[in-house]
């Protein structure tokens, strides 16, 4: 999913965390075969939960995710559990419940690391960094963004790399480091162009245009 535009001014801004929570969902599981009704039920429930989340129906979405988690725990589906915890964390990010999001994301990230799934781990790290910044954990946030950035670069995930570069640029802008923000945002534009991600280029340019002029 594409990232939403984020204002760098404080008055009407979406935070970097909110932008990340929209963009950085884990990839959905494959459609289950008709011969596996349990897997088909999990797939349908996951789709319902994500639809409710996209419609900002927080209570209903949380209930659906909790039900999905219960079924995945019964099936001992560790990767599915990690994916659901990451998506449930997106709900808490959107509601600015930062610590709840962090608790879920730390657990999902660890599972993805153990499973050797750098793509999903990078998603969890990106969202974890966003929540940590909002709680004033700036050093941890920067470290996790940089780790996600390195992983996405190594995987050749140009779109993911550009998104993380943009998040870093926004974070430095919020910290008042305009020069470093420009550096990351310009890098993000270059990588997004390599990916032929025209809409993402426009979003990053918007972020760049909102930096204070000196």
- Number of other residues whose CB lies within 10 A of the CB of residue 109: 24
- Answer for the pair 84, 65: CB distance below 8 angstroms, yes or no: yes
Percent of the chain with pLDDT over 90: 77
pLDDT at 214: 63
Average pLDDT over residues 95-116: 95
Residue predicted with more confidence, 84 or 3: 84
Query: In what helix (H) or strand (E) does residue 188 lie, and over which residues does it extend?
Result: helix 178-194
pLDDT at 174: 93
Closest C-alpha to 105, from 137, 67, 74, 76: 137
Q: What residue segments make up the domains of the chain, in order of their start?
A: 16-209
pLDDT at 7: 33
Domain 16-209 has CATH 1.25.40.10: yes
pLDDT at 152: 97
Residue 210 phi, psi dihedral angles, 5° rounding = -90, -5
Distance (Å, whole) CA 24 – CA 34: 29
pLDDT at 37: 78
- Answer for the pair 104, 86: CB distance below 8 angstroms, yes or no: yes
Give the pLDDT band (50/70/90) at residue 20.
Answer: very low
Measure Cα distances from 18 to 8, 23, 94, 125, 142 in Å. 13, 9, 5, 14, 17
140-192 tens-digit pLDDT: 999 999 999 999 999 999 999 999 999 999 999 999 999 999 999 999 999 99
Q: Is the pLDDT of residue 30 over 60?
A: no
pLDDT at 40: 85
What tokens appear for 62 in the block? 């949380």
Average pLDDT over residues 63-83: 92
Indicate the pTM of the whole model: 0.80
Contacts of 159 by beta carbon, 8 Å cutoff, 6+ apart: 192, 195, 197, 200
Residue 60 phi, psi dihedral angles, 5° rounding = -65, -40
């Amino acid at each position: 999913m594409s990232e939403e535009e984020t204002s760098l001014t404080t008055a009407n801004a979406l935070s970097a965390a909110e932008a990340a929570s929209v963009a950085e969902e884990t990839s959905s599981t494959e459609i289950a075969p008709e011969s596996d009704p349990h897997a088909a039920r999990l797939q349908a429930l996951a789709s319902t939960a994500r639809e409710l989340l996209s419609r900002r129906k927080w209570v209903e979405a949380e209930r659906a995710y909790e039900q999905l988690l219960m079924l995945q725990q019964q099936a001992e589906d560790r990767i599915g559990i990690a994916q659901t915890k990451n998506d449930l964390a997106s709900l808490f990010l959107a509601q600015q419940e930062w610590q709840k999001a962090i608790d879920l994301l730390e657990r999902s990230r660890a599972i993805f690391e153990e499973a050797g799934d750098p793509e999903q781990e990078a998603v969890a790290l990106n969202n974890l960094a966003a929540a940590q910044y909002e709680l004033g954990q700036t050093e941890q946030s920067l470290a996790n963004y940089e780790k996600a950035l390195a992983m996405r670069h190594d995987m050749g995930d140009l779109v993911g790399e550009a998104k993380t570069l943009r998040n870093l640029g926004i974070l430095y802008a919020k910290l008042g480091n305009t020069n470093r923000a420009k550096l990351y945002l310009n890098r993000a534009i270059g990588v997004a162009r390599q990916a032929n991600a025209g809409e993402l280029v426009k979003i990053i340019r918007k972020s760049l245009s909102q930096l204070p002029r000196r």
